[in-house]
Structure 1
Amino acid sequence: MTTHRRSSQGFVAGSLIGALGGLIGLGGAEFRLPVLVSLFKLGTLDAIILNKAMSLLVVVAALGSRINVIPLEQLVSHRDVALNLLAGSLAGAWWAAGHAITMPRRWLDRIIMLMLTGLALVMLSEAWFGLEGAAPLIDSGAMRWVVGLIAGFCIGMVAALLGVAGGELLIPTIVLLYGVDIKLAGSLSLVVSLPTMIVGFVRYSSSDAFVVLRQERQLLCWMAAGSILGATLGGMLLDLVSTHWMMGILGVILLISAIKTFQHAQRQKEHSCS
């Protein structure tokens, strides 16, 4: 693949994935990871690190583009939700990123595929059963704080291992645990995701694989530019598109692409070893 074609494909893929991120309140990285592995032939850890770098940019752009629909005052009034989840997610991201660096690549591949499949099922369940800002599952107090810490820790682990923002898990957690409206939950998830991804990103900086940011600088720039453009457009369309049916479609796409991508990666490794 020529450098020009690779850059063009990166920009187009980044734009489409970024639009999904801005529209739903996700970083879009769960879709970007299979693309980086299958289309651009990156190793799993390299793809995770490159994915996380672009996710940071997409989350910032998506959060900024949603401010017109979800005012900053609303986010500030729910800061207790963000702080509760952040307390767990920062620790989870730091712990998981450190283990990903030293984990055998075969096991990392398997864990990534299982996590992407799990995220696809979460998205499908959200589309089928719906999420409404009804009464919270647990009344405010010590118990909800503890549950929020545990949920945040698990979500931070997933975010670090996949290089994702974690919105597919954060949004239903915020809606169900705290009784928050789904669109507000999308913006709150971005607020939690940003520092969580920064922690994971810093943790990965001690890995030799971090050099991929220099080696793939051109792909990173073009894909990031497309992602920011897409995230901005997606955020502007927030009031025009129903997120429920889109979550269902994206869940199916993610499920198929996750399985096919990492089966293909495994076959390539077996072929290279033979």
Structure 2
Amino acid sequence: MTSVSSPSPDPGSGPQTVTPTGRRSLHGFVSGTAIGTLGGLIGLGGAEFRLPLLVGLFRLPTLEAIILNKAMSLVVVTAALLFRAQAIPFGLLWDHLGIAANLLAGSLVGAWWAAGHAMTMPRAWLNRIILALLCGLSFLILAEATVGLHQVATPLVQAGMARTVAGVVAGFGIGVVAAVLGVAGGELLIPTIVLLFGADIKLAGSLSLAVSLPTMVVGFSRYSRSGAFSVLRAERPLLSWMAGGSVLGAALGGMLLGSVPTRWLMLLLGVILLISAIKTFRHR
């Protein structure tokens, strides 16, 4: 008995349905724009907020979410570095190359080491570590909002071997966090550059991007050896739309900078990050 297939509906004859991939891409663009805008308002890329979203809302496995988050962070940081070039020219960054080199000496090693361990670590332990790191970042954001860690006129450590060693150690820790969470690490780099080297806050923001970019490239290349790296192909629409929304949001946040009280916004975002991290990773 032969079955007669019903004719396909005329594309223009009825209401159009959005495919699951289309809905996923739309949600990625909207959430990326929102996170990018809020992050831009307080001077962060927003990757620490994207990670719980990728795991909780988009249901990605943890390691795949880290890799996708790192790919988006590479795009956002590159765009942010170009956006800031008018305010902080590359020549000024070159004059402070020693600060970036000091931190990179530790962060590159930390990113390579941490990414290698994250690929082989049991997922339960990886989730516990991510939960601890995200909670730590949320407390750091809350501390900045209440205490003002950036308001330092002189460096805590005078120039010399002690500062160089401290920079390498701090860079290593920042590289570990950046690799495990797939973030740029600005929330750690900026206060480190201000407190340790006594740099101006605006200069510290651009220097943090200059350190973040090669650090993320090293971690990203290390993750390329993992089978989970295939998520970049499987989730290409989500990656493209969410990264595009993040860049747009970062630009909007930069333009709206100063229109919203930063202190209260940081308090709100610190609480949101803490709650979302606990809800997303505790049960895992």
TM-score under structure 2 length normalisation: 0.89
TM-superposition CA deviations, 1:190-226 (whole Å, max 9, x none): 1111110000000000000001111111111111111
Give the Å deviation of 1:241: 5.2
Instruction: Name the CA shift for 1:99/1:149 in 2 (closer, same or farther; >3 Å).
Output: same
Matched, 1:171 2:190: yes
Q: How does 1:96-245 map to 2 (within 5 A)?
A: 96-130=114-148, 131-238=150-257, 240=259, 243-245=262-264
Return the index of the structure with the highest Cα Rg.
2
Q: Offset at 1:240?
A: 5.0
Q: What residue number does 1:90 align with?
A: 108
User: Equivalent residue for 2:57?
Assistant: 39
8 Å Cα contact 2:142/2:267 also seen in 1: yes
Secondary structure at 2:282's aligned position in 1? Answer: helix
1:245–1:73 distance in 2 versus 1, CA, 3 Å: farther
Post-superposition Cα deviations, 1:89-124, rounded to whole Å, max 9, x if no partner, equal: 000000000000000000001100110000000111
Supply the AA of the counterpart residue of 1:185: A
Selected match of 2:98 from 76, 80, 85: 80
Greater helix proportion: 1
Structure 1 21/58 Cα, relative in aligned 2: closer, same or farther at 3 Å? farther
Q: Which residue of 2 aligns with 1:269?
A: none
> 1:46 Cα shift?
0.5
Asked whether the equivalents of residues 26 and 190 of structure 1 are also in contact (C-alpha less than 8 Å), the reply is no
Please state if 1:249 is matched with 2:268: yes
Instruction: Please tell me the root mean square deviation across aligned C-alpha atoms, in Å.
Output: 1.6
**Farther off after superposition, 180-189 or 122-131:** 180-189
Aligned residue type for 2:196: L
Conserved? CA contact 1:112–1:162, under 8 Å: yes
Greater mean alpha carbon deviation, residues 64-73 or residues 246-255: 64-73
Spell out, residue by residue over 1:38-96, the C-alpha distance to the aligned partner (whole angstroms, 9 max, x if none): 00000100100000000000111112112223333332222211111111100000000
Relative to structure 1, the CA distance from residue 56 to residue 159 in structure 2 (aligned partners, 3 Å threshold; closer, same or farther) is same
What SS class does the counterpart of residue 13 from structure 1 fall into?
helix
User: What SS class does the counterpart of residue 151 from structure 2 fall into?
Assistant: coil
Partner amino acid for 1:89?
Answer: S
- Where in structure 1 are there 5+ consecutive unaligned residues? 267-274
Count how many residue pairs are aligned between Structure 1 and Structure 2: 265
In 2, Cα distance between equivalents of 1:178 and 1:72: 19
Instruction: For 1:2-81, list aligned pairs within 5 A.
Output: 2-81=20-99
- In the aligned structure 2, how far is the partner of 1:111 from the partner of 1:6? 28
Matching residue's letter, 2:205: G
Given residue 92 of structure 2, which amino acid in structure 1 is its aligned partner? Answer: Q
Q: Deviations over 1:6-63 (max 9, x none)?
A: 1111001111222234444433110000000000000100100000000000111112
For each residue in 1:152-209, what CA deviation from the matched residue of structure 2 results, as whole angstroms up to 9, or x when unmatched? 0000000000000011111111111111122221221111111100000000000000
- Amino acid corresponding to residue 131 of structure 2 in structure 1: M
Q: Give, in whole Å, the separation in 1 of the partners of 2:267 and 2:87.
A: 23
Q: Which moved more, 1:187-196 or 1:62-71?
A: 62-71
Change (3 A) 1:133 1:71: farther
The answer on whether the counterparts of 2:128 and 2:282 sit within 8 Å (CA) in structure 1 is: no
Contact 1:54 1:224 in 2 (8 A): yes
Gaps of 5+ in 2: 1-18
